[in-house]
Structure 1
């Protein structure tokens, strides 16, 4: 049985899991400001759980292309009040952050997963997760940084480069004593990749499974979907987002990170019904 070991939960990945996005930010690319207050964010958490989310991913800093960095003080002020209450909701709580101070603070509050776009490459990040021997970790591939990643996208075979990077980062974690079942890999759709490269990661996603670690796919409302579907408005990309999530699951993704939980859960139910008859 494939599992994701986290602080409070041992998540069974025998069936795909849906991670619902809770952006506590004023400037996220698709829903900035919608859940910026603590009360609004917590209401959104409850709605996502009702819609079928298996995991909640709370973030206090936008990582859209060109987004400015957020100060430590601002991120803590946004995230901590939400996490403090969300850990009572009886589902795994992930926090989307690359700052080790935020990692420590949310893990102290009982958060279950650190979801890091920098794959724990920021100074102090490895020490932060090592100090919490039960927390789950999601390592993501990002080319350059949010300020420059789309100005200078990757070159060459993106699948091989992503697999090599994530395998190396996983090995670094295991070398400091982090058990493999705590680690999940995210190929970083949209983070310094061209449209074609993003779809190459989807088409060849099974190759990423050669790492031996589960894959988390984050396609929701990404600009590459808008590029091929002709939809400029991020919030209007619900249908292509659900389609991409389902294609990722069919190619072996263990977790999909989505805004549109209800629709994704419904699509997965159809996929499961089909698979049951194979």
Structure 2
């Protein structure tokens, strides 16, 4: 039987109506905890660079309430250099294997089909590809064969030069149109609709104003008819908003968690499927509060039953 995704209008914010097949469905926005196995992440570079440290961190995120742990071996901060495929495999495979063996729902954050394939063999259940299949032409056919959930993000090039591509007529319209093209490519490659998740790519070839516009119009992204993943955690547009009033210096990444939680509430209230965050505790609480609040919000006139 073919599994297909379909959009349903939930009468209550914070209770997403569509989910990728094969992943948790708790009736609220999910929380994806970040496990960076990199020496140069913008937020926590080096914190979990060894396999043992990364596994311990992933297990701690699960204990704190993460529904999914997202393991990545390549930093995608602006200007970052790419590791080799062998190095990326060396970083992520032991971590994916150990976390999956411990019962975690593991996502692998990679743009390389080879890494995705090896991680799926090691127990990952989701591929989170920030390039939406553009970085590696083998990725979409791989995911069609794997028949597992796949996140395709809006992307306009690798980290080293992506900010030069932050030019849009209307950022929301352009991002939605470009995501639609990637959805069409994924379907043409044989990926089933019910396996697809979309991500507007906050911070990737976006100015701070672009990010805020996308957050304010997430409904346009959700109207594509697929679950939506949002990754705003600790990103520079939050640091810019919270810059020191005296020096103008952006707030450091590790001091942006309260702002991230505020974004989590706003996104969950709009019905996004999942939030990718570094600090799981605050967002796990936020999505539960938002879902409970949403259960009391009157349905708009004419909305179908939930």
Under TM normalisation by the shorter chain, which class is it?
A: over 0.9
Query: 5+ residue gaps in structure 1?
Result: none
Match of 1:256 in 2: 275
Match of 1:57 in 2: 70
- Offset, 1:12: 1.7
In 2, Cα distance between the equivalents of 1:93 and 1:61?
Answer: 16
- Give the counterpart of 2:262 among 243, 253, 256: 243
Native 8 Å contact 2:19 2:273 kept in 1? no
- Offset, 1:13: 6.4
- Give the counterpart of 2:218 among 189, 199, 205: 205
Q: Which has the higher contact order (CA 8 A, sep 6+)?
A: 2
In 2, Cα distance between the equivalents of 1:268 and 1:114?
Answer: 23
Indicate whether 1:266 and 2:280 are aligned: no
Q: Which has the larger radius of gyration?
A: 2
**Superposition map of 1:106-255 within 5 A:** 106-121=119-134, 122-133=136-147, 135-230=148-243, 231-255=250-274
Query: 5+ residue gaps in structure 2?
Result: 1-16, 244-249, 298-306
**Superposition map of 1:30-109 within 5 A:** 30-109=43-122
Q: How many residues align?
A: 274
Native 8 Å contact 1:4 1:13 kept in 2? no
Deviations 1:71-94 (A, max 9, x none): 011100000111111112323210
Native 8 Å contact 1:143 1:154 kept in 2? no
TM-align CA RMSD? 1.3
- Classify the secondary structure of the residue corresponding to 2:164: coil
Indicate whether 1:277 and 2:291 are aligned: no
- Judge which range, 173-182 or 78-87, deviates more: 173-182
In 2, Cα distance between the equivalents of 1:145 and 1:110?
Answer: 27
Q: Stretches of 4+ moved more than 3 A in 1?
A: none
- Give the counterpart of 1:16 among 26, 29, 39: 29
